[in-house]
Structure 1
């Protein structure tokens, strides 16, 4: 009877334990990303939407995955990993937001043999992330898939395919360029594309604008004056016209006529009826990024379409532009000689807070002094006719004082945090995220050890009759899931711990290099160049300094909290 009583008590205790952990025994879902990619050439006439639908359906059919986000790189080659959505995906992977990535096939993930293999064999196992390829029936969590010879061969084939396709595209482009029968992909301001005849046709709405720009320049108007006239007449920019009449895109608030746009129109040989090929080139199979080419490499075909500008007028504009360019270069050279020693302390760093424009640096001489003191100031050239809009000025000396004050304040704060961070790194500090992570990892490791010990005794209890078969199977399943959950939690905490340690090391490295300037209050151009990213100036007198290391600083502040 005593034997039965003890067994009954043990069974009752196990039943109560099962009830307590009932919520844990539910099936776990992995936070999953669907990644789709398609090159510029639509491979096999496949659409990006078809890929997305396939991925979503696969995730829907498999309960272990939970779709968190969809990442789409449409029009990006797979030969490198510098793709905006792929970069966003990896950022989410590193922060623990994504635990599994699903692609249609491995070529969608990447066509670079070495880097694709590095992600599969090194990066993803380290981050405890699964990569699933539907068509390849590949799952990186399976050792037999990772170690299989099939995957390296497939990755190598994918890279060879990409190189071969790139080579064919380049050779095809060069052949069609020589013959002059290249398919016209997009219109030019002043023309529209007749797709049936594959020819540029004069656009009666925008061609007169192009002609007016050429006439104004011949009359001696500079690009700045032409921009003002176009704004006054409320003429749509080339991008705005195309967005509203051809491709139905949203027009950004920053879109406006600029001197560079006028230059592009004035120098474009398309307006005298010529077609120019090869202004920009790229060849992935030669590891050659897209780049501007020398005019001597251009292929020019004359009289391919109706001219908007007469050739004599076009030649006159080119001569005027060449003379103007030479004059500006000579003026710039003389100006540099005259103002030697008076250099812009914040080149391309000072921004207008109202419109976002880079403020212009202007030098002047204060002749109130005995010999004249040469100084500088910044002003915003943007103006839309509204009183008080932009046009603000800020003196360079004021920026120097403000920026150096901000830099020394940042250095002081960093030095104050140094001791706490060093203690946190060494494990002698009692607070902070790093301490919490270490405690969390230790607790989970202890719970994992206990779960393994208890799991190891389950069969013995079943064999001796302390547990019946149903109880044994239920408890076994519970501890399997508990160990998986704890293992996953430990891996995630360790990844986060490494990221925190890296942030602390980066902070301490920056602090170590800056500590020498703590008591130096003088202006230091090297510190400006090294630390200052942007300076925003408001017409109301506000000055905001954005540092290059602000992300490192912010991360450490969050860690210490």
Structure 2
């Protein structure tokens, strides 16, 4: 710690301290008190003015979204801190990419001097210690990665032994207060789980069960566990068919420990991805069952029997673009017969569909064709001033001229000539069959006439292709027909709609609001 500060009065110092579980093996030297004592001693000896002390106790170095660190960044941007001191570089972080970002970009751009005591790093002076900082950051990152692998290995070993390592047990169970990593039946919620399976056995669908539980205001698993539900929407605090379906198919309720259903993308990210069922870790008979296995199997058969109807989807032009204006969720489509008995697609609000009796939203029912035609008409009006068909005619004429000289054109002529020669040979054979008596007069006349007409049509087509009408008027007419066909279908292009439209909203009173990507929303009735 021989670092010297020539002008201590110029600095307002932030002392940053971080400690996580990964540092337990390092002993008392890494403790918060030890770090604080070391940083305060350094500041006092250099007569530095400490603006504040920032502590993140229990936070991983791979995560830079820490409360103490965020407070430090806020004070830097407010101009209150222009020097940051840590015990070593790993206290700042163990993600070499983010550590390099703050060291090489953020701190210099904000006129902040960074000092790492044990590493001898001081960005306020030129030194060899600063030059090897990227390598130190990589080594710290590798340490965090190694620790992550060891922790993951220990967790997987516990999972394979049937020990529960999750945060909250499945709804219907709770942690055993006397045995770590064991779960027992929660007598408060177990009756609700048993009732859900009973209702499923009576033939009620997952949606019907969810509606019933919502009507009785029974707390959802997340509400009961007091979990942070993140963004609050119309579904928050309500049972859903997806939740019921997941419960009805979970083997935890027959006494099997089911874990490993999802995994983190990497040790640096909190995001998780679902794992296929074959990758789950299932250990049988680890705890008391809530549901009889025979009853569980019956429910599985009933749930699986409805999968074909639930998974049916429909393709439509506005798929992924149309939303409910009131609740903000995507609209669903259903197939219903109209007054004439013909099947038609209708848009309906998905929130209303799932929580009809809760009154969260309204139906918004309207024909898919009606909305699509209205949107296409508006797109046509918007694009019309910039779309001049006459400017496309020269392009079409040039394409026609090039097409006549391509290899495909020559191949088409050769193919027609080959078919004509084959039909001619067929006629010759038929004539010989007639002479030898293999083919009677009536069949000969019928087949001969049909084959000859087919050959004449091919000869006519070959004549048109081989000796095309190159007159300007004729070519212009063909080009106009091609342009007209393009213009008539261009506005129905899925690519065009996605490029122009950000989202379409349908209001309760059937008003259609189009949010274009290039201007303010336009409303049409």
Structure 1 counterpart of 2:292, from 283, 303, 310: 310
Q: Which runs of 5+ in 1 are unaligned?
A: 1-26, 337-342, 415-516, 555-561
**Is residue 2:508 matched to residue 1:526?**
no
1:248 to 1:124, Cα distance in 2 relative to 1, 3 A? closer
The count of corresponding residues between Structure 1 and Structure 2 is 399
Whether 1:107 aligns to 2:77 is: no
Structure 2 SS opposite 1:148: helix
Please, what TM-score do these two structures have when normalized by structure 2? 0.59
2: CA distance, partners of 1:241 / 1:523: 49
The answer for unaligned runs of 5 or more in structure 2 is 1-8, 387-485
Contact 2:258 2:282 (C-alpha < 8 Å) held by counterparts = yes
Task: Write the distance in 2 (CA, Å) between the matches of 1:387 and 1:182.
Answer: 39
Report the CA distance between 1:314 and its aligned residue. 1.0
2-structure distance, mates of 1:185, 1:529: 41
**Larger CA Rg, structure 1 vs 2:** 2
Distance 1:89 1:321, change over 3 A: farther
Alignment correspondent of 1:202: 185
The equivalent of 2:334 in structure 1 is 362
- Secondary structure (helix, strand or coil) at the match of 1:154 reads helix
Change beyond 3 A, Cα 1:541–1:262: same
**Is 1:344 matched up with 2:309?**
no
Partners of 2:509 and 2:383 in 1: CA distance:
28
CA deviations over 1:7-51 (Å, ceiling 9, x no partner):
xxxxxxxxxxxxxxxxxxxx9988x99988776x564399xx979
Task: Please give the TM-score of this superposition, normalised by the length of structure 1.
Answer: 0.55
Residue 400 of structure 1: CA displacement?
Answer: 4.1
Larger RCO (alpha carbons 8 Å, 6+ apart): 1
Check the 8 A contact 1:272/1:309 in 2, yes or no: yes
RMSD: 5.5
User: What does residue range 228-243 of structure 1 map to in structure 2 within 5 Å?
Assistant: 228-243=211-226
In structure 1, what is the equivalent of residue 349 of structure 2? Answer: 379
Aligned to 1:225: 208
- 8 Å CA contact 2:194–2:290 kept in 1: the answer is yes
* Counterpart Cα distance in 1 of 2:81 and 2:360: 52
> Residues 155 and 165 of structure 2 are in contact (CA less than 8 Å); yes or no, is this contact kept in structure 1?
no
Of 283, 290, 297 in structure 1, the residue corresponding to residue 279 of structure 2 is 297
CA distance in 1, matches of 2:225, 2:77: 40
Describe the superposition over 1:306-353 as per-residue Cα deviations: whole angstroms up to 9, x where unpaired.
Answer: 111111111112222233225545xx3xx76xxxxxx32232443333
**Residue 212 of structure 1 is aligned with which of 195, 210, 213?**
195
Quick check: 1:120–1:140 contact (8 Å CA) kept in 2? no
Whether contact under 8 Å (1:163, 1:284) holds in the other structure is no
Secondary structure in 1 matching 2:126: helix
SS at match of 1:291: strand
> Paired residue for 1:185, among 154, 157, 167?
167
Q: Alignment partner of 1:312: what SS? A: helix
Give the whole-Å Cα distance in 2 for the aligned partners of 1:87 and 1:533. 37
> In structure 2, how many angstroms separate the alpha carbons of the residues matched to 1:346 and 1:131?
54
Q: Identify if the C-alpha distance between structure 1 residues 249 and 535 changes in structure 2 by more than 3 Å, giving closer, same or farther.
A: closer
- Whole-angstrom CA distance in 2 between matches of 1:241 and 1:313: 26
In structure 2, C-alpha distance between the alignment counterparts of 1:91 and 1:537, rounded to whole Å: 43
Task: Select which of 261, 269, 281 maps to 2:251.
Answer: 269
Does the CA-based 8 Å contact 1:73-1:84 persist in structure 2? Answer: no
Q: Distance in 1 between matches of 2:513 and 2:11?
A: 45
> Which moves more between the two structures, 530-539 or 287-296?
287-296
